[in-house]
Structure 1
Amino acid sequence: MSSTGKPETPETPETPETPETAAAPRSRRRTVPANAVIAVLLALLGFALVVQFKAGNSDAELASARPEDLVRILSDLDSQQDRLRHEINDLEETRRQLDSGAQSRDAALAEARKRADELGILAGTLPAEGPGLEIGFTPGTERIKSETILDAVEELRGAGAEAMQVNGANGAAARIVASTYFVDGDNNRLVVDGSDLTAPYTIMVIGGPDTMRTALNIPGGVVDSVRQHGGTVSLREADPVRVTALHNAGELKYAKPA
């Protein structure tokens, strides 16, 4: 009891620091990285669920597809796989040549010329030859419509066609490129990029013959469509197929080589 009459507050004895109390702050500091790891794991789990959900939807679409659609998809995937495998081999060979010091300049020039030729073939400004098919379209009770020729061109492109032209019985020919259009003309003629072609028509196409033949002969495809109207489609493998018709690219008004 103090002299003022108030009870004295007993002093709280200091608790000695133990290894357990000294490790507590460090334990709390370690919970922060642990929370970050948990957050990352939850994000990865969510991503995996989304991927699995999308894969399930894709499987459902394939399960409901028609057999002829599945054949077409499989054929397109096989042809794309073959093209990609060849491209990988070519690029690896080009890399090996470029890595060699003595041949690097010659290899670079040869690669540039090769790319220029490929672009010229794709643009239709250079002739081309190689293995492929000669496809004849002969009308029956009805004319061969422009949409039928367009369907054939699209099927051939999907099967790996690299160069094409269409010939008419009147001797006219037109190179087929990305911008080519097909229109039904007067007197049962086919108009291709402004050129009038008379039936029967022949598509000269360079590419893998077996893959392109399979693409055209799928059930409900181009060959079936023509036959349903009394027409015929003939497919003859040839090596080489010569694509000589050229596409007029037009003159550049503003652009010039840099």
Structure 2
Amino acid sequence: MPAPSDRAVGFDPPAGLSGPAENRPSLIPLPSLLRSLLTDHLDPGYAAAAERRRAGAARRRAADHLWQALAALLIAVVFAAAVAQARSTAPGVSAAQQVLAASVRSAERSTDELATRRNALAVQADDIQRRQLRDDRTGRQLLTRLDELSLTAATTPVIGPGLNITITDPGAGRDLTDVAKQRVPGSRQVILDRDLQLVVNSLWAAGAEAISVGGVRMGPNATIRQAGGAILVDNHPVSSPYAILAVGPPNTMRDTFERSSGLQRLRLLEAYYGVGVGVSSGDGLSLPAGTVREITFAKQIGP
């Protein structure tokens, strides 16, 4: 009997043969074209091409994995070399930092000692000058004029009533960058040099006779500027809280300063950024003498 699958496709090997089965010639069954079309869906050439593509893709994947492994190994070697170099140079860098820090501290001590000696010599020179000039009328007039000029030049210490303004930076918070793009995002610093400059100019306009910022006397040659994250007053670094002392008539100064752009700026920083602002009157405010510098050229502005 032919197989059921042969009958299903219409193929019957004994069909057309006569006589008993034992007298029939033996036949080698070959699949018909219809069976080949129904059972073999892919041409052998296409199958071989597909197999070659799969083999090529496998080889490419293996090559990619090899290159990735080599790249990872190279990166690991570079990082290991960098770590080894950093560890080998770390002691030298630390030693250099310590030497530089010690040099800076020594220079600061020398500067403080020289400043103290300069102030002492200035007091002695002023005493000698006064003893020589106070004995006659012309000398006394000259002393009065010198006192006026010394107050304007901020070269003598001042004690008197006035205003005490304290400005305190807030804690670390959100991005405090303003239009100037000088504030560092996330830092503790909100107050900039321009804020202190505006406050000092507002105090001068309010009638202050002498002003100091962070213990540094403001004079004709004194500046307030920003250097990175530090504020320098006459090249002396100051930090929060910033203490501004202004000697002058307290009531008149306070009334005018309350309406000034300097205090309005501080109130805005207080409301938006949490800056601490304190304004109080005092009777015995003490301001140091400013730095005396040699002036080689000057031009009068105004009447």
Tell me the TM-score normalized by structure 1: 0.50
Q: Which has the higher contact order (CA 8 A, sep 6+)?
A: 1
Tell me the TM-score normalized by structure 2: 0.43
